[in-house]
């Protein structure tokens, strides 16, 4: 018995020691092994910060992170101490709303040196060691503030001879907030030419500590006393300071007579706009900033690239040429809010509640609540949008037609749809017919990017906004081209096949080159040209070295699997079945080719690529037949097209849109003109990641991907 007690005691000590070691090894994470993210806020007195803390915490926790949060109550030393404490607790990422963009550098640099990914959130931290700076276009904020005020006083037509120069007050924000510097820069870009021409005079220019409304009230009282109430306009930098200044102006009978700007489209600021006191506010839709910060932090932690990120110098960002280094940035767009659009931009969009914005406004002077208005327009008055599809035989197109129709109708548009069944003349006729029916916008999946130009140019000349959807239409008259990075699709296809082939492992030589088949897509689809461009960027260097030989290079009409089967049968016959790899351009053609390869015992032993991560393609991957497919998450493309069309119809700016030349897009230097484009990212799918990228993400169903796979060889259902 004694020996048993001794053994039990030893066993217990071993368990305790094991637990202690586990605790030590997981010191940088929570007890559950979760990665920790810190949120450091300057204060929660500012209306928006607490709400954004709650949202960021929720989104981060949904992604599996543990969140630590702290508020510094405008105390720069406390914020540095709180950040140091978070680093000591093992955070791997920090999102910081800085009280002072200079003072917080002390702790942020230490955190960055310790390997922590630091995001400066909406306020710049003045060090090049931060991993990202996320905000809005703050110089544009200042421009829009000044533009709104100058328009209100009609500065361009100001009669200097009769009135003297317009007397303008400039109220800057907190001097410790770098954003305030950028707002002032934008304001000055607009105001200075009027100063130089003698049309306006800046009679007072002061900053407001901590953006405090009470400070702004006192400052404005002093300015009005000094100027004997003789001011013509006020350019203030946010709603809080503007509303503080307005209290002083009300006491002198100037509110509603002297134009004044704000920022943030707060409930109080928007209410002041509808009352005719505040002239303009600038909407920075902060609902988009917290999700952006969480997405960027997640990508930084995982070492993934961030869409739309661009480096700016600290000198540019601070308006201080002594600052050195660069900072990766993502800036969101801003919009000017005034009495004419406050209902649509602020209330109808849900940015502020109707009852908050229209409080104290008599019922008969209020617009109807969103959703409660009696529809003044008959259905015939709805704006019509046309959807023109090359075919519905391709698996994805009908699903995307259904989704686009639903989203557009949800926005109040009337939708007309047509399918051309691979007939280029019919598609031109269908587009002409839609224009005759009065469509204001067209989303076109072209059967032939050259042939459809005939009708598309006529539509554009008639004022119709035409979006080329996932397939380029080769004319500079289209309003937008939306697709994925199709050259990168080709690169990833070729990279996947070359890796599976072991082309860099020394197996293949000039005397024994790998025999590769290139299967292009439909020759009438410009995307097929771009895929081939990317494929050859990878394959050609191996051809030049002599270790790869392209033994067949053919295109597959209409992306048809039956055509691909026949083509591959002929290639195998011509090559005596001696091929080593196939670079095919989508799943349909790859699966057609695989039927021919199966008949010769080559499926699973000869690497082959696809594209689209279809259910059949993904199933072929898990069976070990298809080597790679390329995931273009088409779930994002239809909503993007609908959002872009809505913005084009309304004359609004489109985020992330960039012009490319037709020569670049077609790989044809004879093409002239430019096209506005938005391209979404792509990902390579293989046997190792198909579960996470395709199934777990919900892109394809588990049962479709793992059909015919024995239960014992399947992963668990998500």
Strand partners, 553: 518
Whether the per-residue pLDDT at 390 is higher than 80: the answer is yes
Q: Break the chain into its structural domains and give their ranges.
A: 36-130+288-332, 138-283, 476-718
Pairwise CA distance, residues 201 & 195, whole Å: 6
Share of the chain above pLDDT 70, in %: 94
- 8-state DSSP, 372: T
Lowest-pLDDT range, 44-53, 107-116, 204-213?
A: 44-53
Rg from Cα positions in the chain: 31
Q: How much is the pLDDT for 399?
A: 85
Pairwise CA distance, residues 571 & 592, whole Å: 13
Non-local (6+) Cβ contacts of 633 within 8 A are: 680, 683, 697, 699
For the segment 201-222, the average pLDDT, to the nearest whole number, is: 93
Q: How much is the pLDDT for 381?
A: 74
Q: How much is the pLDDT for 32?
A: 57
CA angle 477, 481, 484 (to 5 degrees): 160
SS3 content of the chain, % helix, strand, coil (to 5): 45, 20, 35
Q: Choose among 545, 684, 674: nearest CA to 607.
A: 684
Q: How much is the pLDDT for 375?
A: 43
Q: Do domains 36-130+288-332 and 476-718 have the same CATH topology?
A: yes
Average pLDDT, the chain: 91
Under the banding of pLDDT at 50, 70 and 90, the label for residue 373 is low
Pairwise CA distance, residues 382 & 377, whole Å: 7
Q: How much is the pLDDT for 191?
A: 96
For the segment 226-230, the average pLDDT, to the nearest whole number, is: 96
For the segment 691-708, the average pLDDT, to the nearest whole number, is: 93
- pLDDT, tens digit, 9 for 90 and up, residues 259-289: 999 999 999 999 999 999 999 999 998 888 9
Q: How much is the pLDDT for 104?
A: 95
Whether the per-residue pLDDT at 211 is higher than 80: the answer is yes
CATH class for the domain made up of 36-130+288-332: alpha beta
Q: How much is the pLDDT for 634?
A: 82
Under the banding of pLDDT at 50, 70 and 90, the label for residue 29 is very low
Q: Choose among 283, 244, 279: nearest CA to 141.
A: 283
Under the banding of pLDDT at 50, 70 and 90, the label for residue 688 is very high
Q: How much is the pLDDT for 308?
A: 87
Contact indicator for 414, 379 with CB cutoff of 8 Å: yes
Q: How much is the pLDDT for 47?
A: 66
Whether the per-residue pLDDT at 394 is higher than 80: the answer is no
Q: How much is the pLDDT for 33?
A: 83
The fold of the 138-283 domain, in CATH, is: Rossmann fold (3.40.50)
- pLDDT, tens digit, 9 for 90 and up, residues 293-339: 999 999 999 999 998 899 999 998 988 899 999 999 999 989 999 99
Pairwise CA distance, residues 617 & 633, whole Å: 14
Under the banding of pLDDT at 50, 70 and 90, the label for residue 389 is very high
Tokens for 166? 């317009």
Share of the chain above pLDDT 90, in %: 80
Whether the per-residue pLDDT at 590 is higher than 70: the answer is yes
Non-local (6+) Cβ contacts of 65 within 8 A are: 34, 35, 36, 37, 93
For the segment 695-713, the average pLDDT, to the nearest whole number, is: 92
Contact indicator for 281, 263 with CB cutoff of 8 Å: yes
Pairwise CA distance, residues 41 & 71, whole Å: 5
Q: How much is the pLDDT for 30?
A: 44
Q: How much is the pLDDT for 22?
A: 35
Q: Quick one: CATH architecture of 476-718?
A: 3-Layer(aba) Sandwich (3.40)
> 202 burial class (0-12, 13-18, 19+ CB within 10 angstroms)?
middle
> 123 burial class (0-12, 13-18, 19+ CB within 10 angstroms)?
buried
For the segment 449-471, the average pLDDT, to the nearest whole number, is: 95
- pLDDT, tens digit, 9 for 90 and up, residues 163-200: 999 999 999 988 888 889 999 999 999 999 999 999 99
Whether the per-residue pLDDT at 7 is higher than 80: the answer is no
For the segment 41-60, the average pLDDT, to the nearest whole number, is: 87
Q: Would you mind telling me the total number of residues written for the chain in this entry?
A: 718
- pLDDT, tens digit, 9 for 90 and up, residues 464-505: 999 999 999 999 999 999 999 999 999 999 999 999 999 999
Under the banding of pLDDT at 50, 70 and 90, the label for residue 374 is very low
Pinpoint the alpha helices (H) of 504-634: 526-545, 561-575, 587-599, 615-622
- pLDDT, tens digit, 9 for 90 and up, residues 376-385: 444 447 999 9
């Amino acid at each position: 018995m004694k020996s048993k007690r001794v053994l039990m005691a030893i066993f217990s000590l071993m368990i305790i020691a094991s637990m202690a070691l586990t605790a030590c090894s997981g010191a940088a994470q929570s007890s559950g092994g979760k990665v920790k993210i810190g949120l450091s806020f300057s204060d929660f007195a500012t209306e928006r910060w607490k709400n954004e803390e709650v949202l960021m915490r929720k989104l981060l926790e949904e992604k599996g992170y543990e969140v630590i949060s702290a508020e510094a109550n405008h105390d720069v030393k406390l914020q540095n101490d709180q950040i140091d404490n978070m680093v000591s607790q093992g955070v791997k990422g920090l999102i910081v709303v800085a009280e002072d963009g200079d003072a917080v550098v002390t702790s942020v640099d230490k955190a960055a040196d310790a390997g922590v990914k630091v995001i400066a959130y909406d306020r710049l931290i003045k060090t090049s060691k931060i991993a990202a700076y996320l905000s809005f276009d703050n110089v544009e904020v200042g421009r829009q503030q000044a533009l709104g005020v100058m328009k209100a006083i009609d500065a361009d037509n100001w009669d200097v001879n009769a009135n003297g120069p317009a007397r303008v007050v400039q109220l800057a924000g907190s001097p410790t907030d770098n954003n305030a510097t950028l707002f002032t820069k934008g304001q000055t870009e607009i105001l200075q030419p009027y100063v130089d021409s003698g049309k306006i005079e800046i009679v007072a220019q002061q900053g407001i500590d901590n953006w405090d409304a009470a400070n702004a009230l006192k400052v404005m009282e002093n300015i009005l006393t000094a100027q004997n109430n003789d001011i013509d306009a006020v350019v203030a930098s946010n709603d809080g300071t503007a509303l503080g200044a307005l209290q002083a102006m009300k006491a002198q009978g100037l509110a509603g007579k002297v134009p004044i700007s704000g920022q943030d489209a707060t409930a109080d600021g928007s209410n002041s706009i509808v009352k005719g006191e505040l002239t303009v506010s600038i909407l920075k839709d902060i609902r988009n900033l917290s999700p952006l910060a969480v997405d960027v932090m997640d990508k930084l932690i995982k070492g993934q690239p961030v869409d739309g990120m661009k480096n700016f110098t600290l000198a540019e960002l601070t308006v201080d040429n002594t600052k050195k280094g660069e900072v990766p940035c993502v800036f969101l767009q801003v919009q000017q809010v005034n009495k004419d659009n406050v209902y649509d931009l602020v209330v109808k969009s849900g940015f502020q509640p109707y009852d908050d914005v229209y409080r104290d406004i008599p019922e008969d002077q209020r617009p109807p609540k969103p959703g409660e208005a009696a529809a003044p327009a008959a259905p015939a008055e709805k704006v019509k949008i046309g959807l023109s599809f090359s075919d519905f035989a391709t698996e994805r197109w009908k699903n995307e037609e259904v989704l686009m129709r639903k989203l557009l109708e949800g926005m109040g548009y009337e939708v007309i749809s047509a399918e051309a069944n691979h007939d280029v003349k019919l598609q031109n006729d269908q587009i002409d017919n839609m224009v005759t029916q009065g469509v204001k916008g067209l989303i076109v999946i072209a059967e032939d990017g050259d042939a459809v130009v005939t009708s598309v140019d006529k539509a554009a000349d008639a004022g119709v906004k035409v979006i080329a959807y996932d397939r380029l239409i080769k004319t500079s008259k289209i309003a937008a081209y939306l697709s994925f990075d199709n050259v990168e699709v080709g690169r990833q296809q070729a990279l996947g096949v070359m890796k599976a082939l072991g082309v860099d492992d020394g197996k293949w030589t000039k005397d024994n080159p790998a025999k590769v088949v290139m299967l292009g897509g439909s020759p009438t689809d410009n995307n097929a040209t771009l895929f081939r461009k990317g494929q050859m960027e990878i394959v050609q260097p191996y051809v030049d070295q002599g270790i790869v030989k392209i033994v067949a290079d053919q295109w597959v009409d209409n992306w048809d699997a039956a055509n691909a089967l026949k083509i591959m049968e002929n290639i195998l016959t011509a090559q005596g079945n001696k091929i080593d790899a196939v670079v095919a351009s989508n799943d349909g053609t790859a699966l057609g080719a695989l039927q021919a390869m199966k008949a010769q015992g080559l499926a699973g032993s000869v690497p082959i690529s696809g594209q689209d991560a279809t259910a059949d393609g993904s199933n072929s991957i898990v069976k070990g037949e298809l080597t790679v497919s390329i995931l273009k998450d088409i779930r994002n493309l239809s909503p993007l097209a609908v959002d872009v069309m809505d913005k084009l119809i309304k004359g609004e700016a489109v985020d992330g849109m960039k012009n490319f030349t037709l020569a670049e897009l077609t790989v044809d230097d004879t093409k002239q003109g430019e096209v506005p484009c938005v391209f979404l990212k792509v990902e390579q799918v293989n046997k190792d990641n198909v579960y996470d990228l395709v199934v777990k993400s919900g892109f394809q169903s588990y049962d479709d991907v793992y059909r015919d796979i024995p239960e014992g060889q399947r992963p668990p259902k998500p």
